[in-house]
Amino acid sequence: MPRTKEDLQKVNSGRVLYYDYLRVLATLGVIFIHISMLRMYNMDVASTDWTVNCVYDALSRWSVPMFVMISGALFLSKDVSVNMIYKKYLPRIIVALIFWRFIYFLLKTGDPVQQFLSLFGDGAVSRFLDMIAGYRLFWFLPMLAGLYICLPILKGITKNNTLCKYYLLLSFVVFLLLPKVNDMVYRFGKVYIDSPGNLLFSKAEQSNLLLFLSFTFYFIIGYIISKTEFTKPVRIVIYTFGIAGALFTVLGTYYLSLDAGHTVTTFFNFNRVSVMTSAVAVFELFKNIGFKQNFLSRFVSKLADYSFGVYLVHILIYEQYVMRFDIPNGNGQSLFLTPIISISLLFYSFVVSALLNRIPVIKKYIV
């Protein structure tokens, strides 16, 4: 008989429904991050609008680690051969990365023909490499490709309970805790120290701890949480730490930015304990909701299938269309404007992704 909520949902619907709900909500969260951050940089940190966007951004930070946690829960729960990694999963990531960076490059200046021609002639190789390396938006894809490559190793870790606990503890300390301590001492105490966290990040290759200084923590913790049934008191503790983490991200960013006179994103980084506790709390919350297979769930599952395409196209839609409108940045309007822009962008991005998913080759390799 099935032992976890994940198993029960698979029996009832063939897929884990709370993953789909999380994926759709996290997609909206990513858009909130990008829209609120873009608007924050054009605002006075002492303004009401800046504060509103800071709150929206901080409360959405769990969404990026969530995608990694869902991937870990899915991939570490099934047998994936090395052959399948290199024949199925990696090619899709690589092709999508090159294709979309090319599209963004073509539309960068508003003259796609000239941009295309610039790839030929003198300096073509350099421009091509710049095209491949451009757009910070796509950092997520190489990171995901690295997780796929490490999948056989990570799966081996999760099969050994003692080894898994050791890995998570060490990764928590070097990836999440030490950077947080260093940030707090430097930012709040105004004292720079060459802490263990600093040394690990600046001397990562020499310390041989690169495997622990990565999103592999989220990949494994997502799998562990999906397979663990926590008692109610433990869940309350998880939710409490999640709320505390979200508040810390908001208040810490607000304080540091006011003190510096400009936006300081130290506590927005995904390798921060406060962001991690929020992501874990949201994952655990949705795991225990008990979604049923009905019209809404089928609709959400379909949206979840389009979420990768939404991630790839939403900034393109924003740059090509939304930025052309004269959107006000003051008078407290961000309370309504940021959600309106974000939800509208989500809708149009889903429409574009849905259309692209109707083309077999595009669906297989691009979105």
Question: Quick one: tokens of 154?
Answer: 């990570």
Is the pLDDT at 91 greater than 50? The verdict is: yes
Q: Quick count: other Cβ atoms within 10 Å of Cβ 67? A: 24
The separation between CA 349 and the C-alpha centre of its own chain, rounded to angstroms, equals 17
Question: Of 102, 149, 151, 141, whose CA–CA distance to 316 is shortest?
Answer: 102
Query: Is the pLDDT higher at 105 or at 329?
Result: 105
Q: What sign does the dihedral 142-143-144-146 (CA atoms) show? A: positive
Is the pLDDT at 21 greater than 50? The verdict is: yes
pLDDT tens-digit series, residues 30-46: 999 999 998 888 788 99
With bands split at pLDDT 50, 70 and 90, how would you rate the model's confidence at 120? confident
Is the pLDDT at 81 greater than 60? The verdict is: yes
Task: Say if residues 108 and 115 touch (Cβ distance below 8 Å).
Answer: yes
Contacts of 215 (CB under 8 A, 6+ apart): 65, 68, 143, 147, 270
Q: Point out the least confidently predicted range of 12-21, 248-257, 279-288.
A: 12-21
Helices (H), the chain: 5-13, 17-40, 48-58, 63-75, 82-84, 90-106, 112-117, 124-133, 140-159, 161-171, 178-189, 196-202, 204-207, 216-227, 232-260, 273-287, 295-305, 307-320, 334-356, 360-365
pLDDT tens-digit series, residues 175-203: 887 766 666 655 555 544 444 445 555 55
With bands split at pLDDT 50, 70 and 90, how would you rate the model's confidence at 135? low
Cα Rg of the chain (Å, integer): 21
Contacts of 37 (CB under 8 A, 6+ apart): 53, 57, 265
Q: In terms of C-beta density within 10 A (0-12 exposed, 13-18 middle, 19 or more buried), how is residue 2 classed? A: exposed
34-37 CB contacts, 8 Å cutoff, 24+ apart: 34/137, 34/314, 34/315, 34/318, 35/318, 35/338, 35/341, 35/342, 35/345, 36/60, 36/334, 36/338, 36/342, 37/265
Q: What is the rounded CA–CA span in Å between residue 183 and residue 278?
A: 19
Over residues 1-22, the mean pLDDT reads: 69
Contacts of 185 (CB under 8 A, 6+ apart): 191, 193, 195
Percent of the chain scored above 70 by pLDDT? 81
Q: What is the rounded CA–CA span in Å between residue 107 and residue 120?
A: 17
Is the pLDDT at 1 greater than 70? The verdict is: no
With bands split at pLDDT 50, 70 and 90, how would you rate the model's confidence at 84? very high
Question: Of 17, 144, 165, whose CA–CA distance to 75 is shortest?
Answer: 144
Q: What is the rounded CA–CA span in Å between residue 153 and residue 210?
A: 14
Task: Say if residues 238 and 245 touch (Cβ distance below 8 Å).
Answer: no
The separation between CA 72 and the C-alpha centre of its own chain, rounded to angstroms, equals 13
Specify the pLDDT at position 2.
47
pLDDT tens-digit series, residues 292-335: 989 999 999 999 999 999 999 998 898 877 666 666 666 778 88
Q: Point out the least confidently predicted range of 73-82, 162-171, 188-197, 311-320.
A: 188-197
Task: Say if residues 241 and 279 touch (Cβ distance below 8 Å).
Answer: no
Q: What is the rounded CA–CA span in Å between residue 220 and residue 81?
A: 18
Specify the pLDDT at position 76.
96
Q: Point out the least confidently predicted range of 23-32, 141-150, 324-333.
A: 324-333
Question: Quick one: tokens of 332?
Answer: 């407290």
Mean pLDDT of the chain: 85
Over residues 331-343, the mean pLDDT reads: 88
Q: What is the rounded CA–CA span in Å between residue 73 and residue 274?
A: 21
User: pTM value?
Assistant: 0.89
